[in-house]
Structure formats: C-alpha cells, structure tokens
C-alpha cells in the first residue's frame, strides 16, 4: 500500500504541474510487491505487466500487480462432477486428487503465500500428474484403446509444457498465473474433460460388466 500511495502522489504531482515547454503531462505507473523468495526477474516482469495494464486502461493511473494473489483464485474453484467418472476407480480417484491439489494450490496463491512455497506445491502436483498419466496409459493399454498412442502423445506434450512453464517461473521469465492457467485450462478443463471422456466407453465397460454380474447373482 505504501508503494502504491507514493506512486499515486508522483502521478498527481506530474499531472498538476505544467512543464514550460511540454505543457501538461501525465504518467502511468506499475507497482509490484516482491513475494518472499521471488526471483528478481519475476518481480520485474510483474511490475512491467502492471505498467502495461495502466497504459491499456487509459493511462495516467497507477496499477498494482496482484499476481501473488492469482486472479484465477478469485474466479475458479473446481468441483468434481458425477459425469466426470470414467468407470475405472483408480483413474477417478487420481482425477479427484488432481482437482483437490489444484484447488489447494489456487487457495495458496489467493492467500498470498510465498513464491518458494507455491512452487513446492506445484512440484507435488506435477509429480502426481506424471504418475497419473503413467497409470492411465497402463489402463488404456489393457483396454486396447484404439487411440492410445495419440492419447499418450498428448500426455507427453502436457508434461513437457508444464515443466517448461515451471522453469520459466523459477527464472522469472513467466508469471505463476500463467502456470496456474495452463494447469486449470489445459490439463484439467481441456484434457480431463475433453480428451479423457473419449475413452470412457472403454473404461465404463468394466463397471457395466460388474453390475451385470451382480444382477445375475442376485437373481
């Protein structure tokens, strides 16, 4: 708040004082508070983003970066839905755990947790995603899923991009919010709710067969 107030005073002084040659002038200012253990380049990038936003919003204003309290956390909270069930207990439990871990990560960002703590949680989530993909591919192989190779290729691409984004965040070349957006939009909303649903008829056969066997025994 102190930095924003100081920036606003500077902006007001420049706006209210006429230059003998240039006349009336204005200034746009971006402000970002450095998070605990945040790389300097990442901090500078957030400051630049705030400055660009100030200019895009009409100039002559101060905009504070709020990346450590991710805007995703203000608008997204994932909730497991029955229609997301694949029919395979292992896959469904891992999908639910992935959503739980993502929600926890979003809550950490919204609470303004330190950069190092957030990245540590990102590492745990990515480890879970990698293990889940391996497990899922094993199930699809057993089910003789005809599009297994392309599905496994999508897994590799998602993991590769996630790892690249994570390293870019560590180096200050990308914002944490970009990694959050990728996990929510590409890994969960895009992959889990689009590509995974294509194999559901194959994995749901398992549950249908189990229910049929139970019906025969009961009859």
Residue range of the domain that includes 11: 2-64
Q: Two tokens at 84?
A: 């997301």
User: Looking at residue 195, what DSSP letter applies?
Assistant: I
54 is a domain residue: yes
Do 32 and 139 share a domain, yes or no?
no
The pLDDT tens digits of the residues spanning 167-180 come to: 888 887 777 778 88
- Which positions ≥6 away from 133 have C-beta within 8 Å? 152, 155, 158, 159
Burial degree of 164 (CB within 10 A; 0-12, 13-18, 19+): middle
159 is a domain residue: yes
Res 207: pLDDT: 54
Do 85 and 30 share a domain, yes or no?
no
Do 51 and 142 share a domain, yes or no?
no
Q: What string of pLDDT tens digits covers the 219 residues of the chain?
A: 577 788 788 878 878 887 677 678 788 888 887 766 566 666 777 777 778 778 888 888 888 876 544 444 445 678 888 889 999 999 999 999 999 999 898 888 777 778 888 888 999 999 999 999 999 999 999 999 999 999 999 999 999 999 998 888 888 777 777 888 888 889 988 898 889 999 999 998 755 444 433 434 444
SS3 label, residue 19? strand
The pLDDT tens digits of the residues spanning 5-37 come to: 887 888 788 788 876 776 787 888 888 877 665
Res 69: pLDDT: 47
218 is a domain residue: no
What's the CATH code of the domain at 145? Answer: 1.20.120.50
Do 82 and 48 share a domain, yes or no?
no
């Amino acid at each position: 708040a102190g930095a924003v107030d100081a920036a606003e005073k500077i902006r007001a002084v420049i706006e209210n004082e006429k230059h003998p040659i240039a006349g009336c002038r204005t200034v746009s200012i971006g402000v970002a508070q450095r998070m605990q253990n945040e790389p300097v380049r990442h901090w500078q990038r957030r400051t630049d983003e705030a400055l660009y936003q100030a200019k895009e919003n009409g100039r002559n204003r101060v905009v504070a970066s709020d990346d450590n309290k991710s805007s995703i956390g203000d608008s997204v909270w994932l909730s497991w839905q029955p229609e997301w069930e694949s029919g395979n207990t292992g896959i469904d439990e891992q999908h639910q755990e992935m959503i739980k871990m993502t929600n926890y990560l979003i809550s950490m960002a919204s609470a303004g947790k330190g950069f190092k703590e957030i990245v540590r949680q990102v590492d745990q989530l990515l480890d879970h995603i990698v293990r889940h993909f391996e497990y899922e591919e094993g199930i699809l192989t057993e089910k003789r899923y005809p599009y297994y190779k392309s599905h496994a290729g999508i897994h590799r691409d998602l993991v590769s991009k996630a790892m690249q984004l994570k390293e870019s965040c560590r180096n200050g070349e990308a914002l944490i919010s970009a990694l959050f957006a990728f996990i929510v939009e590409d890994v969960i909303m895009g992959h889990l709710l689009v590509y995974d649903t294509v194999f559901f008829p194959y994995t749901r056969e398992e549950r249908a067969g189990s229910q049929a066997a139970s019906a025969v025994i009961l009859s």
